[in-house]
Amino acid sequence: MKKDLAFLFRQLTQGVYIVGVTHQKKDNAFTAAWVMQVSFNPLLLALSINPGHSSYEMLTQGGAFSVNVLPGSREDLAQRFGQPATVNKLAEVKWHRGKTGAPILDDAMAYFDCEFSHECPAGDHVLVIGRVVAGAVLDPDALPMCYRDTGDMDGSSRLYPDEFI
């Protein structure tokens, strides 16, 4: 059943993003699929983050985050930023600071630069809401990566319960 639930939830259409954070002269970024637009006015994005990630405190303390949209061809970046920050994940990757100071990847097909607005608990994750203050399409011809096509890169199949609870 665990595998069935993982397969069921992968039917939800999701992209793959690199979320950049910065705090006290340190920068980091992690791969995320649980990102969505939640308001037109103001322009708000929501991100569901595991509060155990090192990026979580950096995001809330730093007060900003970037959402870099990955093209389908950059599985290497999804893999790289899906690891814990025991290595400097941003080394050897071309990036620059956005308006908020959060890292923007040069190889993203588009990016959103967000100011932290508020957060609310969401089970074993935290829903972070950010106000979009800048952004751009960097490669209008690129096709976005689909989370479903990353297989079990995030190892999430073991995290599903055995049945509906």
Ligand X SMILES: Cc1cc2nc3c(=O)[nH]c(=O)nc-3n(C[C@H](O)[C@H](O)[C@H](O)COP(=O)(O)O)c2cc1C
Q: Which residues bind ligand X (CB under 6 A)?
A: 16, 28, 30-34, 48-50, 53-55, 78, 82-85, 147, 150, 153-154
Q: Which is nearer to ligand X, 76 or 139 (CB)?
A: 76
Q: Which is nearer to ligand X, 54 or 157 (CB)?
A: 54
Please, which residues have CB within 8 angstroms of residue 3's CB and are 6 or more apart in sequence? 157
3-state DSSP: the chain helix, strand, coil percent, rounded to 5? 20, 40, 40
Question: Min. distance of Cβ 119 from ligand X in angstroms?
Answer: 13
Question: Min. distance of Cβ 87 from ligand X in angstroms?
Answer: 10
Question: Min. distance of Cβ 159 from ligand X in angstroms?
Answer: 10
Neighbours of 115 (CB within 10 A): 15
Residues 128, 116: Cα–Cα separation, whole Å? 7
Measured CA angle at 78 (ends 45, 37), to 5 deg: 10
By beta carbon distance, the residue nearest ligand X is 82
Question: Min. distance of Cβ 157 from ligand X in angstroms?
Answer: 12
Measured CA angle at 143 (ends 68, 13), to 5 deg: 75
Q: Which is nearer to ligand X, 52 or 163 (CB)?
A: 52
Q: Which is nearer to ligand X, 91 or 140 (CB)?
A: 91
